[in-house]
Amino acid sequence: MDSCFDSLAAVVPWREGWRFKVKILRMWEVPAFLNLDQPNSLEMVLIDEKGDKIHATVRKQLLYVFQKKLAEEDAYKMFYFSIAPNVGYYHTTTQEFKLIFQMKTKVQKIESSAIPDNGLSVSKIEDLSKHTVDYPFLVGSF
């Protein structure tokens, strides 16, 4: 991994100035609660060269800044985020924290064949069947 970029596995909230080289594995809009025609946020799963993944969010107030700059399966250099606990009803990654885009967040599209195209994490069926209904991580078939 390029030494001037940080690993997604190293993300902690008490540090600023993060620099990542990542690919967007998945990206989707979350609709507003009372108006399903309006987006409330843009959600992403990012992956780095080591295969580490993290959830990232663009809040409604900043959609106009980032929505047209980002595309699923493209690679980017990204700088300057807020870090927040990865809490809520579902988790797309096992990472303890998630990235929140800010007005000062910078994204630059790049070409990178070193970043994996998929982030599949294979689990044994025995491990999956042990989970209860309130298991917070997304599990499904495709």
- CATH topology (fold) of 8-129: OB fold (Dihydrolipoamide Acetyltransferase, E2P) (2.40.50)
The Cα–Cα gap between 51 and 119 comes to: 6
The Cα–Cα gap between 25 and 108 comes to: 16
Q: Rounded to a whole number, what is the largest CA-CA distance in the chain?
A: 45
For residue 78, pLDDT beyond 70: yes
Question: pTM score, two decimals?
Answer: 0.82
Average pLDDT over residues 35-45: 92
How sure is the predictor about 89, in pLDDT bands with cuts at 50, 70 and 90? Answer: confident
The Cα–Cα gap between 66 and 97 comes to: 21
For residue 128, pLDDT beyond 70: no
Average model confidence (pLDDT) for the chain?
85
For residue 42, pLDDT beyond 70: yes
The Cα–Cα gap between 91 and 112 comes to: 27
